[in-house]
Amino acid sequence: MFSPTALKKVAQQSVVVESLLDAKEELDGKLRIAINGFTNSTAEEIVRVVAGKAVTGAKEEEIKAAAGKFRETAEKLLPSVQQKSEEYIGDARTTDILVNAIMV
């Protein structure tokens, strides 16, 4: 789910910081990259099943099938993401924020 490219961006060599404020800003930036990578890669996995159907002039049956597959994928993947997030993070409020970001 989480792309290796985004992980490399987060895991880059840290720089020496002069103050606590600089350290916080660096941490905030890396956390933002990680969260964006996580939500984008998970959302892309769900949306992939319907991508391009409207643009290619697909028939109504194909669009309905893709929409059904979209729902099926979301219903299968989101609870898994919720569970894994709860295991790693341990804070229900933070987990809900992440899952809601994926759903949006």
- pLDDT tens string for the chain (104 positions)? 545 554 455 555 666 666 777 778 888 888 888 888 888 888 888 888 777 666 666 777 887 888 888 888 888 888 888 888 888 888 888 888 888 888 87
Domain boundaries, given as residue ranges, for the chain: 26-103
Measured CA to CA, the distance from residue 30 to residue 16 in angstroms comes to 15
- Rounded Cα gap, residues 67 and 49, in angstroms: 8
Query: Whole-model pTM?
Result: 0.56
pLDDT at position 56? 62
Cα→Cα distances 13→3, 4, 43, 66, Å: 18, 16, 28, 42
The pLDDT, as a whole number, for residue 65 is 84
pLDDT on residue 70: 85
